[in-house]
Amino acid sequence: MSADDAAALVPHGANVGMSGFTGSGHPKAVPTALARRIERAHARGEQFRIGVWTGASTAPELDGALAKVNGVELRLPYQSDPITRERINAGAMDYVDIHLSHVAQFVWFGFLGHLDVALIEVTAILPDGSLVPSKSIGNNKTWLDQADRIILEVNSGMSTALQGMHDVYYGTRLPPHRKPIPIIAPGDRIGETTFRCDPAKVIAVVETNAPDRDTSFAASDATSEAIAGHILEFLGHEVRRGRLPPELLPIQSGVGNVANAVMAGLENGPFSGLTAYTEVLQDGMLNLVRSGRMVLASATALSFSADATRQFDRDIESLKTKIVLRTQEISNHPEVIRRLGVIAMNGLIEADIYGNVNSTHIRGTTIMNGIGGSGDFARNAYLSIFMTPSTAKGGSISAIVPMVTHVDHTEHDVQIIVTEHGLADLRGLSPKQRAAVVIGNAAHPSFRPALKDYFDRACRLSPGKHTPHLLDEAFRMVDPLR
């Protein structure tokens, strides 16, 4: 049926599990048609809003279209759309920010309420009723299993060669019946290449032919290249000390320009035989796979620029033997991350002198995107690295502050902080030792005197000397420092 007819089957108040993870694999037609329907209902004075559950961020024709018409009552678990963000911060949309590995199990536990509709993009429906995923898997398996009704968008614009790249695991159980996840190497396949689907639940099939959202990346600059250089030097040091093998350990990399610069550094660096166990495969990691530097990459989604998409589509037959796309609950599973010894590299908004990291909020109250998978990896990684330029807003804001205004990753989960000015290795250090290293190695030189002055006075005047703070000043200093 048409997208408009399918949208007519979604009622006001429904919780809708939609496919999509970092701009790939999201439904392209029905969300836009649903937004038009909601807009017409609002013009008639009728209430019409839905809950939107996804894998992660999507695209303007989903998040943006529905947010623009005020059609979303609650959003989870991660978003990056500017209109959605504006609605959330204005108090017009509720938002639940969740560790990405927790979403599927929370739905199975019944913690999030009932899932009414699954709206999933696939590339094909096979004769046995199974579904071929597109360029992301995310939480789609759970949406298909848990929803009462299913709407499928079959996107013929995706390569049929995607079939066989996916690994959909059906072995998870609820406590107390859980069993170990049988992955001992990044490339292990433990599931099926397609989604199971109950045909009785399918209420609509909509045909589309549309690309995923292109993810554009800025060219590497001196700052991102300096950060990458510090990380590569550190990894080489760890190899020489015998704490990492020559081929390193599986790499996880967050999204963004700095992350791509690190991948570019690895492509030109001394390491070979690399592997990845991550959630999103971006341009930089794809280049590593294409060059042969990386022999295997496991993820839950592909998020490429337009040029990288063309390269991927052209080389897909060879790449599909080196890339595994998994369900989100497995790509981000703490058990597997710890077993494999992943090297986790993620960005931040601000870090404080003791190593606490804020990756989601501005001034403690305004959400940016969400925690995503960074917490899944940081707490369970072999090495937990956070990287950022030392300043923002043209140098007027310091990324290193006395106390973060919101804590996403506590000092217990943060081992390494890297800026263009240096690398702060916090392993095995006491709080005061960490503060000295963060200020001395990671802070921008123009902000070091103020940070050092705060720390020195806190060491003298703080009631407790273990983690010295001047609580009446810590956040007040955000303004002059920022």
| 329 in catalytic set | no
Report the alpha-carbon distance of residue 125 to residue 395 in Å, rounded.
52
φ, ψ (nearest 5 deg) of residue 174? -85, 150
Cβ atoms of residues 194 and 216 within 8 Å: no
Cβ atoms of residues 72 and 66 within 8 Å: yes
Report the alpha-carbon distance of residue 37 to residue 446 in Å, rounded.
53
Report the alpha-carbon distance of residue 67 to residue 49 in Å, rounded.
10
- CA distances 68 to 22, 61, 63, 118, 286, Å, are 19, 10, 8, 22, 34
Cβ atoms of residues 117 and 10 within 8 Å: yes
Report the alpha-carbon distance of residue 20 to residue 63 in Å, rounded.
10
Strand 397-398 relative to strand 391-392: parallel, antiparallel, unpaired? antiparallel
Report the alpha-carbon distance of residue 160 to residue 124 in Å, rounded.
8
Catalytic residue among 61, 279, 329, 420: 279
Q: List Cβ neighbours of 415 (8 Å cut-off, separation of 6 or more).
A: 383, 384, 385, 425, 426, 427
Which residues carry out catalysis? 279
